[in-house]
Amino acid sequence: MTYDEVRKLVLSFPGAEEGTSYGRPSFKVKGKFFTRIRAEDDSLVLLEVDFDEREMLMEAAPETFHITPHYKDYPSVLARIETVDPGSLRNFLERRWRKVMPKKLARELEGSLPAA
């Protein structure tokens, strides 16, 4: 994927907007952290990924999934934009979107989520 494709996908989720987190460009949903692109390694920060799943992803696709020491204690994984599968990325983003979107709005928007 390209940066523009990732940006378009992230912003296709209802309530998603560009913002900043810790002084870095990021994406938020209703003011809550959604994801960000790490310029340091052209990776996307994916949250809501438990440690077992993260280990499996990094073992199965090390060219795409990795972490840095900063993320080792958090349920997250980094995904390289260039090699991440668009459908998989959409699934990771939807998982996070469901966590940060107000529940009432999530139910109202159930049928309008972006297609995979």
22: which 2 tokens?
């810790």
Domain span at 92: 3-111
d(CA 97, CA 35): 10
67, part of any domain: yes
How many domains in the chain? 1
Q: Encode pLDDT of 29-84 as tens digits.
A: 988 999 999 989 999 999 999 999 999 999 999 999 999 999 999 999 999 999 99
Query: Average per-residue pLDDT in the chain?
Result: 91
17, part of any domain: yes
90: which 2 tokens?
């959409």
Contacts of 115 (CB under 8 A, 6+ apart): none
116, part of any domain: no
Question: Could you tell me the CATH number of the domain that includes residue 86?
Answer: 3.90.1150.30
Q: Which of 8, 29, 27 is nearest to 98 (CA)?
A: 29
Q: Are 113 and 18 in contact (CB under 8 A)?
A: no
105 or 32, which is more confident: 32
* Cβ atoms within 10 Å of 28's Cβ, excluding its own: 18
Q: What is the pTM of this model?
A: 0.86
